[in-house]
Amino acid sequence: MAVAAAPVAAVQSLAHRAGIYGLLAVVLVAALLFVPGFASPTNLANVVTQSAALGLVAIGQTFVIAGGLIDLSVGQLLGLSVVLSCAISEGRSELLLPVLAAMVALGAAVGVAHGTLVNRFRIEPLILTFGTLSILQGAIFAYTDQSVGRPPAELVWLANGRLLGLPVAGLVLLGFAAFAHLLLRHSRFGLRLLATGGDADSARRAGVDVARVRLFAFVLSGLGATLAGLLVAGRLGTGYPNAGQGFELDAIVAAVLGGASLAGGRGTIAGTVAAVILLGVISNVLNLLEVSAFVQTFAKGLIVVTAIVATRARSGGGPFSARRLPAAGTAGRDAG
Amino acid sequence: MRLLFLSKALACMTVLGAALLPAAAGAQTTDRALQKKQMAEVVDTKKFKKAGPYTIGVAAGYMSNSWVVFCLQHIRYEASLHKDVKDVIVTDAAFNPSKQVADIEDLVAKNVSLIIYWPVDEKAIQPALEKAVAKGIPTVNAGGGFSYSAGTVSNAFIDQWALGEEGARHFVKDLGGKGKIFAMLPIAGTTAAVDQLAALKAVLKDHPNIELLSAEYGDWNRAKAKQISENLLQRYPKIDGVFSPAGQMSMGVAEAFEDAGRMKGLTMSPGDEYNGWMKWVVKNQKGGAVTFPTRAGQEATKLGLKILAGEPVPRGLVIPSEYIAPKDAAKFAEMNKPDDWWASKLPEQFKPK
Amino acid sequence: MSPAAASAWSSASEALSRWAILCVLAVLYLVAIALSDAFLEPVYVGNILRQAAPVGIAAIGTTLVMILGCIDLSIGAIISFSAVLCAVLMAGDARNVPMAVGLTLAVGAALGAINGLLVVFNRDSSFILTLGSALAIYGLTQIFSGGTARGMVAPDFREFFNHRLGDVLPVLALTLLLLAAAIEALLRTTRFGRQIYLIGSNREAARLSGLPVAGVIFACYVISGGFAALGGIAVLARSGVSSTFTGRGFEFDALAAIVLGGTLFSGGRGTVVGTVAGTLVLFIAFNLVNILGFNYNLQLVLKGAIIVVASAAYARLGRDR
């Protein structure tokens, strides 16, 4: 039986490694063949443009999830970025670089704050970032309850334009993804991050500076949110305060569909991007097929559940395992 | 070292914050004279003229309240009266402006003949609407705000300022010209909230004996309006009247006062024709209504079809609001229908299930 | 620290963290009274309890799930669905009320059962699975209601729940307190309750000891769903109308209340008393801010700040164990 088990296990492993890519391929092919209007270049470019912002946020989220953490504040942080970038620049192109710098600083600062609070006070990331979500939301609305400002024309082009026929937003996503991929899977930081997410204790014993790794993961998550905010600002053409609502949950869904596990230790950028595109394609297809908006919500939920159940790793441990939600600190163990 | 970085970042943010404070947008005031001029402009629609059959695309900013559901049903009803309209496609952005942008793009990709919309945020979807107009697809705004921009060809709307003003006038009369009041307004920042409050204040200018204690935002949510009212009742020992043009919020307000036993002597302003509120008016014979007609959808459709026929249309078409006195409320209230319902002349098969 | 002092501190801090939320509640209430007389009025306090009832009731059920170390993000959706379903079933007729309430409860429990099955057979995924089921249930709610708030509440239904006993305590508030007492008793005195704590502390060990882990997890999700349905009925009782987005955001408010109440994410600890206290802390804070005339935005910031500070405090206390 052991002889037969090996190839079966290999196929199984391949099947669920193919998981999100296989699902995306199937859906794409089906859409190209059966959904009228899907295959038009304009529509395909639209799908990519519509998905780019979520892609950036989801990539940032992949880092924290891989590290065994989570960041619920990214949606409101994105909203803050949209409002600030529009309000500051008021359409003036000369402010593009300062605004870019400011948003990078904002994303990093929030990330540092999260990382510090998690490391120093051992606050559960889920509840911490839920708290900061509220704080950020309150801050945005304290500043304005209506749309303010305008983004510089460059951001509008970045979010909506075409370069050699390809959507620029898609190129931005690709660039960011490439950088993130190298960082996660081909750098020492990435290795340490995955180790920390998998088992923080072992990582610590192996000499990994767990606190610093976590901090950097939060910084990346914050950056993903604020940079995505620049794209959304370009897309909306105005600083709409509630622009970020819902991004955090969609980003988590995308990261998890893409292979990251909320218990930490796993995750790929390619998988996340594939999941983001999948979600964008599904939304687009449902619109093109004139599926009622109410049914779309139901369908999305069903798809998430089915995809998770179908692509879940079934390696070892049976249905139950000792690991559950991401935990900030190890029980009872004191560390730096 | 981390702390240093953190403090530097915070310092940057404070400086930026201070720099952009002057840029912060103040409350918008509508310039009524300018708006009247803009509304009356006639649009040359020859470039939109096309032959049927037509597909109407409805880009709904949200579908989660009964008013817009009725508005949509009016659109469908009007569409059914024209044999050259073969389909109505509806997208719902669920309060997400990015999604509404994507929805409009998808409708354009589907080559709809006409786009009727109500926005989550007017400014956020302008770029997408302009692209639609550039492709020869006319756009019509249906609902509560007038939009004068390149992306909107025409508007079928309810004049929130006029609605607020008519309501305020009846309210002030019922109050006897004096007393302490508070205002219950819809979602902060929306045209409805801004205009209704501005209209109230304009009317109050002539009545110095009426004191506006507070302006609250109940977000068109009955439970929230009730909660806010409960707190106001605690804060202010004497409240003589409440200005609440939105009937569903008025219900929450009235309940709070009833619960607190302070209903006697309270003057309620007219609400709108929200069925639950109409039932209350019938029962209590107070308040009345200034209508917020859901048939805006029907008018928007008519405008859109005229545009497609190449006929000239005005930039803005006001759907007039009418005042319903408490004694007439019984004609409009549908006692055996749910609260979350609107009086209309829709034929039975078009009414929501 | 000497071993004796260390163990004294450790048991003191354990007691402190267990009852910390009650201390916080007491302090907050005192602060509230100092800032506004309203909080001394029994009627007003009754109001706050009634406001807190829907979230509080739903949170009671979900507390069990969280003690297990799992999470249930679908309660907001179940609340919405239940409110609509109950109103439709009632159709304005008081005779339908028992049937409507009973059936809604059953549906809520059934939805919880589906969640339970999904979680039992897919380890580590309760967050994302209940997130997915939340979307599906919201979609169902919208399809069912067609966008409007369907159904009509029977007139006496609301009167009953809003009636004040002794002119002070609304029946709805009493319902919250009774349900809380019942489940707290379940946790403390029954074997089922003990099993929940054991499984939450160490699932592997519990499984190896032969505890019916799958069954307990399943049962807790059923309870969570049922209580969420009760929360939806409570919303209906309180406001009389069910809109499609009634429950939106409730799941996170409930989560905050549960965590404030001392339940840990990693499981194994937590009490229903704590959850109810946490709920009250949130609602007293909101109302305090509102009554002092502050912006709605400040409420959000305050909510966030309370959550962050309280979690930090708990983590601190927990660390010394």
CATH of the domain at C66: 1.10.3470
Is the CB of residue C40 less than 8 Å away from at least one CB of chain A? no
Residue of C nearest to B92 (CA): C147
> Chain A neighbours among B 25-64 (CB < 8 Å)?
25, 28, 60, 63
Q: What is the mean pLDDT of chain A?
A: 85
Cβ of A296 and B92 within 8 Å?
yes
Residue of B nearest to C163 (CA): B259
- Looking at residue C13, its pLDDT comes to 64
CA distance readout (Å), B203 to B32, B33, B83, B338: 14, 17, 46, 34
Assess if residue C122 is contained within a domain.
yes
- Looking at residue C16, its pLDDT comes to 66
- Looking at residue B20, its pLDDT comes to 38
Is the CB of residue C51 less than 8 Å away from at least one CB of chain B? yes
Q: Shortest Cα distance from B277 to chain A (angstroms)?
A: 27
Cβ of A284 and B102 within 8 Å?
yes
Would the pLDDT of B125 be above 70? yes
Would the pLDDT of B134 be above 70? yes
Residue of C nearest to A126 (CA): C265
> Chain B neighbours among A 144-203 (CB < 8 Å)?
144-149, 156, 160
* DSSP one-letter string for A267-307: --HHHHHHHHHHHHHHHHHHHHTT--HHHHHHHHHHHHHHH
Would the pLDDT of A293 be above 80? no
Would the pLDDT of A116 be above 90? yes
Distance between CA C200 and CA C202 in Å, rounded? 6
Work out how many domains chain C is built from and give that number. 1
Give the range with max mean pLDDT: A166-175, B143-152, C289-298.
A166-175
Cβ of A149 and B121 within 8 Å?
no
Residue in A159, A164, A24, A291 with CA at minimum distance from that of residue B101: A159
Q: At B16, is the pLDDT very low, low, confident or very high (cuts 50, 70, 90)?
A: very low
Would the pLDDT of B203 be above 50? yes
Compare A26 and A294 and report the one with higher pLDDT: A26
Would the pLDDT of B26 be above 70? no
**Cross-chain CB nearest to C311 (options A128, A299, A331):** A128
* Two structure tokens written together for A202: 């072992």
Q: Find chain A residues with C-beta within 8 A of B9's C-beta.
A: 105-106, 108-109, 112
Assess if residue C200 is contained within a domain.
yes
Q: Shortest Cα distance from A318 to chain C (angstroms)?
A: 8
Query: Which 3-state string (H, E, C) describes B16-76?
Result: HHHHHHHHCCCCCCCCHHHHHHHHHCEECCHHHCCCCCEEEEEEECCCCCHHHHHHHHHHH
**Cross-chain CB nearest to C291 (options B68, B231, B339):** B231
- Looking at residue C124, its pLDDT comes to 67
Cβ of C148 and B231 within 8 Å?
no
**Cross-chain CB nearest to B222 (options C38, C241, C291):** C241
DSSP 8-state class, residue C170: E
Q: At B234, is the pLDDT very low, low, confident or very high (cuts 50, 70, 90)?
A: confident
Cβ–Cβ under 8 Å, residues C318 and C17: yes
Assess if residue C321 is contained within a domain.
no
Q: What's the burial of A332, exposed, middle or buried (CB within 10 Å: 0-12/13-18/19+)?
A: exposed
Would the pLDDT of B273 be above 50? yes
Q: Find chain C residues with C-beta within 8 A of A252's C-beta.
A: 127-128, 131
* Two structure tokens written together for C31: 């602060």
Chain C: partners with 3+ C-beta pairs within 8 Å: A, B
For an interface test with A, the pick among B4, B6, B7, B16 (most A C-beta atoms closer than 10 Å) comes out as: B16
Give me the percent of chain A exceeding a pLDDT of 90: 48
Spans of chain C, pLDDT less than 50: 320-321
Would the pLDDT of A333 be above 70? no
- Looking at residue C14, its pLDDT comes to 64
Residue of B nearest to C235 (CA): B223
Compare C43 and A276 and report the one with higher pLDDT: A276
Residue B189 backbone phi and psi in degrees, to 5: 95, -20
Q: Shortest Cα distance from A170 to chain B (angstroms)?
A: 15
* Two structure tokens written together for B324: 């319903």
- Looking at residue C184, its pLDDT comes to 92
Is the CB of residue A133 less than 8 Å away from at least one CB of chain C? yes
- CB-defined contacts B:C, below 8 A: 77
Question: Can you point out the beta strands (E) in chain A?
Answer: 162-163, 166-167
**Cross-chain CB nearest to B234 (options C146, C149, C291):** C291
> Chain C neighbours among A 282-301 (CB < 8 Å)?
292-301
Specify the residue for token string 């007729």: C93
Give the range with max mean pLDDT: A108-112, A183-187, A233-237, B147-151.
A108-112
Assess if residue C265 is contained within a domain.
yes
Cβ of C151 and B338 within 8 Å?
yes
Would the pLDDT of B24 be above 50? no
Helix (H, G, I), strand (E, B) or coil at A148: strand
- Looking at residue C147, its pLDDT comes to 65
Is the CB of residue B95 less than 8 Å away from at least one CB of chain A? yes
CA distance readout (Å), A304 to A44, C77, C141: 22, 16, 18
Chain A: partners with 3+ C-beta pairs within 8 Å: B, C
Q: How many CB atoms lie within 10 A of CB B41?
A: 13
Cβ of C315 and A122 within 8 Å?
yes
Tell me the average pLDDT across B168-194: 87
Residue A166 backbone phi and psi in degrees, to 5: -100, 145
Q: At B353, is the pLDDT very low, low, confident or very high (cuts 50, 70, 90)?
A: low
Cβ–Cβ under 8 Å, residues C62 and C256: no
Q: What's the N-to-C CA distance of chain C in angstroms?
A: 14
Tell me the average pLDDT across A78-107: 93
Q: Find chain A residues with C-beta within 8 A of B218's C-beta.
A: none
Assess if residue C8 is contained within a domain.
no
Q: Name the residue range of residue C49's domain.
A: 20-316
Residue B190 backbone phi and psi in degrees, to 5: -75, 155
Would the pLDDT of B21 be above 60? no
Q: Shortest Cα distance from C155 to chain B (angstroms)?
A: 12
Lowest pLDDT segment from A13-27, A229-243, C102-116? A13-27
Cβ–Cβ under 8 Å, residues C272 and C60: yes
Q: Find chain C residues with C-beta within 8 A of A134's C-beta.
A: 300-301, 303-304, 307
Would the pLDDT of A217 be above 90? yes
Stated pTM of the model: 0.83
- Looking at residue C148, its pLDDT comes to 66
Assess if residue C164 is contained within a domain.
yes
Distance between CA B154 and CA B82 in Å, rounded? 20
Assess if residue C284 is contained within a domain.
yes
Q: Find chain B residues with C-beta within 8 A of C151's C-beta.
A: 338
- Looking at residue B120, its pLDDT comes to 83
Tell me the average pLDDT across B12-39: 53
Would the pLDDT of B56 be above 60? yes
Radius of gyration of chain A, Cα coordinates, nearest whole angstrom = 20
- Looking at residue A323, its pLDDT comes to 41
Cβ of A123 and C312 within 8 Å?
yes
Distance between CA B148 and CA A63 in Å, rounded? 45
**Cross-chain CB nearest to A324 (options C129, C267, C315):** C267
